[in-house]
Amino acid sequence: MQRGSLGMFKCFMFDINDVLLSTAVSGVVNTGRPLKMAAELHPRSGKLIGLSNSNRTARRNQPVQEFNHGLVLSKEPLRDRDVFTVRIDKKVNSWSGSIEIGVTALDPATLDFPSSATGLKGGSWIVSGCSVLRDGRSVLEEYGRDLDQLAEGDRVGIQRSSRGELHLWVNGQDCGAAASGLPPKLWAVVDLYGKCTQVTVVSCEPPPPSSSSFLSSVLTEHQLFDVFNNAIVSFYHGGNANNSPASNGGLGPGALTGGMTTNDALLFHEKCGTLIKLSNNNKTAERRRPLDEFNNGVVMTNRPLRHNEMFEIRIDKLVDKWSGSIEIGVTTHNPNNLDYPATMTNLRSGTIMMSGCGILTNGKGTRREYCEFSLDELQEGDHIGLMRKASGALHFYINGIDQGVAAAQTPGVVYGVVDLYGMAVKVTIVHNHNHSDRLRRNNAIMRALSPDVGRPRPSLSLTPDPEGPDRLLFHPNCGQKAAIISDGRTALRPHATDDFNHGVVLSSRPLRSNEVFQVRIDKMVDKWAGSIEIGVTTHNPAYLQLPSTMTNLRSGTWMMTGNGVMHNGTTILDEYGHNLDRLKAGDTVGVVRKEDGSLHFFVNGVAQGPAAWNVPPSVYAVVDLYGQAAQATIMDDMVDLPPLPEDSSEGPMVMSPGSPCSVGGATTTSDLRFHQLHGTNAVITNGGRTALRQNCRSEFNDAIVISNRCLRDGELFEIVIQKMVDRWSGSIEAGVTAIRPEELEFPNTMTDIDYDTWMLSGTAIMQDGNTMRNNYGCDLDSLTTGSRIGMMRSASGDLHYYINGVDQGVACSGLPPEVYAVIDLYGQCVQVSITSSSGPLDNSLCTSNITEKSFPIHSPVAGVAHRLHSKHGKNVVLLGEGCQAVRVGGYAHGIVFSAKELKADELFEVRIDEVDEQWCGSLHIGLTTLAPPELPSCPLSGLSPSLPHLRTKVTWLLCGSEVLRNGVLQRQNYGCSLDRLTVGNRVGVKRCSDDTMHIFIDGEDMGPAATAVAKNVFAVLDLYGRITAVSIVSSSLMEEVESIKAPSLSSDSCSEGEEDITPPCALVPTIMAFLENHGKNIQLSNQNLTAARVSSYNQGLLVTAQPLARQQLFQVIDRLNPSWTSSLSLGVIGHSPDRLNFPSTACCLKRSTWLLQRDSVFHNSLKICENYGPNLDTCPEGTVLGLLVDTNSCLHLYVNGMDQGVAAQDIPSPCYPFIDLYGQCEQVTIVTNNVPAVGGESGETRCQGDMEKADMVDGIKESVCWTPPPEVNPNKTCEYQALCSRFKDLLTLPDGYFSEDAKYNLCYCESCHKLRGDEAYYKRGEPPRDYALPFGWCRFALRIKPHCEVSNALKKWHIAYHGTSVGALRRTLDHSQLLPGTSSVFSVSPVKVEGPNGYSEPEENMSPGREVPRVRLSPTMRYSGLEIFAPKVQFRDPRSHRCHQAQVGFQVCVRPGSYKVGPQTLGHSEPLDPRFSNSEIEWITKEQGGTLLYGLLVRIE
């Protein structure tokens, strides 16, 4: 078998060689061929073309101002097999797109030249980028080389073969047949488009006949490997090599494998919206009459999407007339059978759409804040994509960036759909989605393989230099998101805050026995879980298809990950050595294979012991820059290591070894600043040391800044990138200019200047707008937040760039003596600051991309300085560690919050720094119960434009001299008017211990401004109108004082007096915090009081560092994510957690463990108790869970301060509380004395002032005794309430009938009412009368009209219930009261089949002869909810598609005396409710206006 296979392969290799030689051999002996065609251009050309060099060179005039009208044609028609070849002489970076080449049957002598080659008709074939177009329509995608990526010096040619086929040649390599059936008489066409500005014709002759030399010179080792692999696959699948495109003359991989035709490509379906016009082979859709019509623009794909197939479109045209813009998504509807709606969100079934920044399912909003990007803000040229994964998850992509899971379960067969709505007019389907990723990787490899580009450095080769030391370096073939720099010694993930994997790098050669491979971690990011992984592999990096993470490789691989060791993706050691996930920047890790075949790892030089045995020789070292690990450098003794990127010691002198210092020396403060003159969109702050681009998500240029003076010889001008956005392509550009700032007319971008200017853009060095040199030693587009860029003009006139203190070599020479530093805040780069010798600068990468730890403002008050929260209005920028706020645009959207809640009698004070007199209005200041951490991440949505409109939570504020509460005027003429504030004035706010708010102006107390202020409040300010900048001048209380002061359990919030004495041990409880040792997906913050799971759904175990003392209550507040199922579990362990190896979930702990999970109790993973307390999986967000071990060693669970009884006995001492952040539960915070327990005593006191008066009657609290915080949507956490809410949505009742305050929507399912601790019965009214809570129902609060009777009704009226039918709901709500004829006791009919709206209902009995004068009520839903009063209807849940039965009713207030109490009229003999006898369970009223609708009740089976 082996011999036969080998022989067959040898025979096949012979066939392949025949194929590869066929082109060179065919047609060589052709003695009758006419003379060679003239290699010249036709004198007629595009209107911007200038010809020279005997019409062999063409140049596009005004290359920076114009991008088209650069068309040239050959002087004579092409002869068969002649390759018309041109060389790219010059390119500019101002434009996208580049050279286009092809053929046309149009005679240039009579041609009316279009603006670009794609406009040629009448028999024209053009290669543009990766596409082939015929008469302007795409006929082939993903063909050959991407012409847009060709560089200066590259050669590109076009050929018509003797068979009438079109071939593209790039640098002597045939890309295969691009088209067939070409006419015999054709002229070559070259379009100097976009970046391409000059070409020269170099030849017009057949390809060289030499075959073997051609193969050896053109095909690299990798290409040959791909060629033979593809050929072997084709052979074994029954293919014939002679039938491949290569047999027609193709040699490259593209020729052997062929191109992807558009036969099965995604296109738009012929059937579309009424205003849609399709073009470009159905790849482009455009809405007609865009200025007159804004909808009827729905288009769908021509076939269903495949699993993991990207459907991506490019926005080609927008108009400014309408609001709203493009919407995109998927639908199960077949376009052939669909009656297209005006807008896709009108479709109520089988549709998931992204609209704005939210997700709509079947036209209903399911996720308000899905991602940071809003589709309404995208611009022309932006890309939007979507993909249905094989798992069923739907993802959306904005400009190639994955926005995460939008819907977890998407049907298997879905079509892509685009709604050209509002501003969106025209889009085009994009097919080459992965091109940018391939390009980034190729650029990284090319940089590593180009020793002669950039700064002088030793040659980097795949084989060691025999003359030099055989050093260990990184191989240039690396992960998709990785790059190799510093002569192969450093590996990094340039976009570490965007991607967490694809960072695998290998050594350039195998390790020798006993040779230690050691790397230093240079840079870390805090965004991800997990960190660096290191190991060895038998795979040669030259041929390895690198995986996303090395642990995915299932052969020949040994890796240390975390504190375990994995072999071929399987864990072989659970607890091994130091945990790599806890390493920091500067730490080192290493690996060695010893002569005996054992594998050992090192951490900071300390051997961790043997990890594996029988490891074969000749293994390559592997480093996986995963998660937090962003950059690593190989350590050896041959040369000094470069400094850590984060090192910034004492100014420019120590930025790098040997780097130039300022003239003034390291001890003097540099006077370099940004000049006051700058680009239109630039803003200079912080005394001239900080520059930022305002409106960074809508403007990408016009933000040039320049130094305030010339650079001295040898002086380093260095800036640090402080903020970036992901919206644009391109990034910061830096350089120097000899133009004085006063004489500079600031252009859009600095590369538009055509004299006395030298700039670095990406990797290109540009002089006067023209590229002098490509592939300089660094790429500015790859820099991230925290990176430093420096420029220095040497005494000899050379320009040097420094990246993170490392000299990148000479960029250009011959600079004049007086040049200014220039920074262009372009594209992604938004904010920079000048570094100086005044002190170290923190350059760590921060995930928020907000300026942090840059310019500290020292507080004049002792203590810990106050800070502003990172969540703020969209026009605000924070500086100086959050101590300064600047409004950078407009007059509004300037709201900022204190970073923490204010303590009692704590003053929060700011100073006015800047005033802009062009605006009216002034600063607003006050207190709010709105917690800024719970605001959406996207600053553009979620905050009101000004503080008086902030009404989502209770807010007290001073506006001018008026005090407002939630925008309602409380008092006038309070103190001094804030409208008179000017620069230097101080304004402060304090919440006093008597629950009053005081305002301070210049230190003077203006007296109480508001009363009954809640305890848990944040200071809030609005930089409105004239006030544009403030800085904090106050401090919080001393931390030392706080740590000494023991929290008291008998605070003023207790209401029981001194009789309820707490044991002495509880008066000084142990201060609890989480242990640093925890699950690998956990991240601690807030002094280890807060823990968050930052990845996946498990690996979230954490334990306290201190044991739990007897009678001490340990409590936590949780935060939920509804994307997962299940939730938090908690318990105690009876042994020290210091050496605990944390499993993936708590149920795997099997030693001295007591666990509370769902409604069960487990001991050592065995269930010992069921139906204990509420189900923890249904606890809503904000629930306070506590653990207490009493003096009898019994474990208790507390829910919102309520003891659920004994859960377990014989708990050992000491014991440690632990929590498993599993599934929905993503974050918990330990409740301290500063964080009152929600629902506990302090919680009741806190929300007392916010309760309606009717909630307290005769000292008995109604069902809102514990209400979730208003900002919490219970639909997120209670599945039953979410189901009821979806049914309510199906009823299509107007939103105006329902209360906007979601906290009054209560679920009375078993879990929810147990969590609140509801009692079954309460009293209400005058005289008080009992009523039962509607257990099993869900209440949606109704809006109550503010007439004079309402306050009386809520206080003095009784509570009752009324069952009704679905059909009577709207009529009842329209009249705002129960009406005779709506009582469903007269409307019983069988359940119908499902109706068109997703539910069915019985018909009302509308017999004209029947009169219904009375309305039936009951104090309990056990009677009013009977099916005879509340008939069941059947409906289908739009989410689960399951059928349910539902009932509806009303909770009403009824006027005392307006009704008559009587017996039940249904003939029941058994008691219906234990509290009410059957003789008093039915109330009858005849009075109109005697009832007030309070809530809609829904029950679902």
DSSP letters for 1184-1195: EEEEEE-TTS-E
The DSSP secondary-structure symbol of 1068 reads S
Residue 1232 has pLDDT above 80, yes or no: no
Mean pLDDT of 386-408: 90
On the question of pLDDT at 64 being above 60, the answer is: yes
CA 1185/CA 1120 separation, integer angstroms: 14
Q: Is the pLDDT of residue 499 over 90?
A: no
Contact criterion met (CB below 8 Å) for 420 and 289: no
pLDDT confidence band for 1351 (50 / 70 / 90): low
The model's confidence at residue 1248, banded by pLDDT at 50, 70 and 90, is very low
Report pLDDT for 1. 42
- C-beta of residue 359 within 8 angstroms of C-beta of residue 352: yes
Residue 557 is given by DSSP the state E
Chain mean pLDDT for the chain:
78
**Between residues 1317 and 1090, which one has the greater pLDDT?**
1090
Is the pLDDT assigned to residue 1417 strictly greater than 80? yes
Residue spans of alpha helices (H) in 434-492: 435-448
* Strands, E assignment, 164-309: 166-170, 173-179, 187-191, 196-205, 260-261, 276-279, 284-287, 298-300
Query: For the residues 257-273, what does the mean pLDDT come to?
Result: 68
What percentage of the chain has pLDDT greater than the value 70? 78
Instruction: Write down the pLDDT at residue 51.
Output: 93
How far is 828 from 225, CA to CA, in rounded Å?
39
Upstream peptide bond of 1327 is cis (omega within 30 degrees of 0): yes
Give strand pairing partners of 801: 791
pLDDT at 737 over 90: yes
> Phi and psi dihedrals of 355, rounded to 5?
-135, 125
In this structure, are residues 1307 and 1274 in contact, taking their beta carbons and an 8 Å threshold?
yes
How many beta carbons lie within 10 A of that of residue 1254, not counting itself? 21
d(CA 481, CA 494): 7
The span from the CA of 363 to the CA of 1397, in Å, is 13
pLDDT of amino acid 1111: 79
Residue 441 DSSP one-character state: H
- Label residue 743 left, alpha or beta by phi (over 0 means left) and psi (-120 to 50 means alpha): alpha
Q: What is the mean pLDDT of residues 992-1014?
A: 89
Burial letters for 1454-1468: b for 16+ Cβ neighbours within 10 Å, e otherwise? Answer: bbeebbeeeebeeee
Q: How confident is the model at residue 641 (pLDDT cuts 50, 70, 90)?
A: very low
For the chain, the residue count is 1501
Contact yes or no for 482/547 (Cβ under 8 A): no
Residue 838 in this model has a pLDDT that exceeds 90: no
Alpha-carbon span 802 to 1330, nearest angstrom = 79
Expressed in angstroms, the distance from the first to the final Cα of the chain is 67
Q: Which of helix, strand or coil describes residue 156?
A: strand
The pTM score is 0.28
**DSSP letter string over 328-348?**
EEEESS-TTT----SSGGG--
| pLDDT score of 1337 more than 60 | yes
Phi/psi for 1242 (5° steps) reads -65, -30
Contact 605, 596 (CB under 8 A): no
Rounded Cα gap, residues 1316 and 1180, in angstroms: 10
Helix (H, G, I), strand (E, B) or coil at 1498: strand
d(CA 177, CA 159): 10
Q: What is the dihedral angle through the alpha carbons of 491, 496, 498, 502, rounded to the nearest 10 degrees? A: 40
Cβ contacts of 517 within 8 Å, gap of 6 or more? 472, 507, 511, 590, 591, 592, 621, 634
Q: Which of the 8 DSSP states describes residue 1310?
A: H
- 94-108, 410-424, 450-464, 922-936: segment of lowest average pLDDT: 450-464
Residue 451 has pLDDT above 90, yes or no: no
Each residue of 881-923: pLDDT tens digit?
788 899 887 888 899 999 889 988 899 999 999 998 888 889 9
Q: Is the pLDDT of residue 1350 over 60?
A: no
Whether residue 632 has pLDDT greater than 70:
yes
Q: Among the listed ranges 69-73, 76-80, 238-242, 547-551, which one has the minimum average pLDDT value?
A: 238-242
pLDDT in the model for residue 299: 96
Distances from the Cα of 995 to the Cα of 494, 773, 992, 1004, 1248, angstroms: 51, 68, 6, 19, 12
Q: Please tell me the distance from the alpha carbon of residue 1147 to that of residue 853, in angstroms, as a whole number.
A: 42
Of 1179, 1263, 1181, which Cα lies nearest the Cα of 1495? 1263
Phi, psi of 1416 (to 5 degrees): -95, 135
Residue-level pLDDT at 1020: 94
* Structural tokens at position 282: 């159905």
Give CA angle at 1459 (1453, 1460), nearest 5°. 140
Q: For 1442, what's the count of Cα atoms within 13 Å in the CB-facing half-sphere?
A: 7
Return the minimum-mean-pLDDT range out of 1046-1060, 1175-1189, 1422-1436, 1437-1451: 1046-1060
Among 381-390, 482-491, 512-521, 665-674, whose mean pLDDT is lowest?
665-674
Integer Cα distance of 1034 and 1043 in angstroms: 20
Distance, CA of 1433 to CA of 1501 (rounded, Å): 10
pLDDT, average across residues 1380-1399: 41
User: Taking residues 372-388, what's their average pLDDT?
Assistant: 87
Lowest-pLDDT range of 392-406, 1246-1260, 1366-1380: 1246-1260
User: Quick one: 70 exposed, middle or buried, by C-beta within 10 A (0-12, 13-18, 19+)?
Assistant: buried
Contact criterion met (CB below 8 Å) for 243 and 250: no
How many CB atoms within 10 Å of residue 1477? 12
- Confidence at residue 624, expressed as pLDDT on a 0 to 100 scale: 95
Please give the residue that has the higher pLDDT: either 1087 or 1052: 1087
Q: How far apart are CA 145 and CA 142, in angstroms?
A: 8
- Rounded Cα distance, 350 and 1282, in Å: 19
| 27 has a pLDDT exceeding 60 | no
**Position of tokens 């030089």?**
605
* pLDDT value, residue 786: 83
- Do the beta carbons of residue 641 and residue 633 sit within 8 Å? yes
Q: Are 268 and 300 in contact (CB under 8 A)?
A: yes
Distance of CA 894 to the CA centre of its chain: 23
- Check whether 236 has a pLDDT greater than 50: no
- HSE (side-chain half, CA atoms, 13 Å) at 713: 8
- Contacts of residue 236, Cβ cutoff 8 Å, sequence gap at least 6: none
Does residue 729 contact residue 400 with C-beta atoms inside 8 Å? no
pLDDT at 418: 96
Question: Is 665 in a helix, a strand, or coil?
Answer: coil
- 387's torsion region: left (phi>0), alpha (psi -120 to 50) or beta? beta
Q: Which residue has the tokens 């028999």?
A: 123
Q: Which two tokens stand for residue 750?
A: 């600095």
Residue pair 1168/1161 in contact by the 8 Å Cβ criterion: yes
Average pLDDT estimate for 347-365: 90
Output DSSP code: residue 1010. Answer: E
CA distance 350 to 1354: 43
**DSSP 3-state of 687:** helix
Would you place residue 1048 in the very low, low, confident or very high pLDDT band (cuts 50, 70, 90)? very low
Residue 1257 CA to residue 442 CA, distance in Å, equals 74
Helices (H) and strands (E) in the chain, counts: 12, 92
Q: Residue 36 has what pLDDT?
A: 61
Tell me what pLDDT residue 1047 has: 33
DSSP conformation letters of 1255-1281: GEETTEE-TTSS---TT--GGGT-HHH
For residues 356 and 423, is the Cβ–Cβ distance under 8 A? no
Quote the tokens at residue 881.
């560690």
Q: Quick one: pLDDT at residue 366?
A: 86
Prior bond of 1008 cis (ω within 30°): no
| Structure confidence at residue 1354 as a pLDDT band (50, 70, 90) | low
Q: In this predicted model, what pLDDT tens digit does every residue of 1307-1329 receive, in sequence order? A: 998 888 877 778 889 888 888 88
Cite the DSSP H helix spans in 241-293: 253-257
What angle (nearest 5°) sits at the alpha carbon of residue 156, between those of residues 151 and 157? 175
Q: Are 612 and 527 in contact (CB under 8 A)?
A: no
Please state the rounded mean pLDDT for residues 1336-1346.
Answer: 84
Could you give the CA distance from residue 1284 to residue 1292 in angstroms, rounded to a whole number?
13
| pLDDT value, residue 937 | 58
More confident residue, 273 or 439: 273
Strand boundaries in 916-965, DSSP class E = 924-928, 955-959, 962-965
Give phi and psi for 1202, each to the nearest 5. -105, 125
Confidence of residue 209 (pLDDT cuts 50, 70, 90): low
Q: Give the type of residue at 1449.
A: G
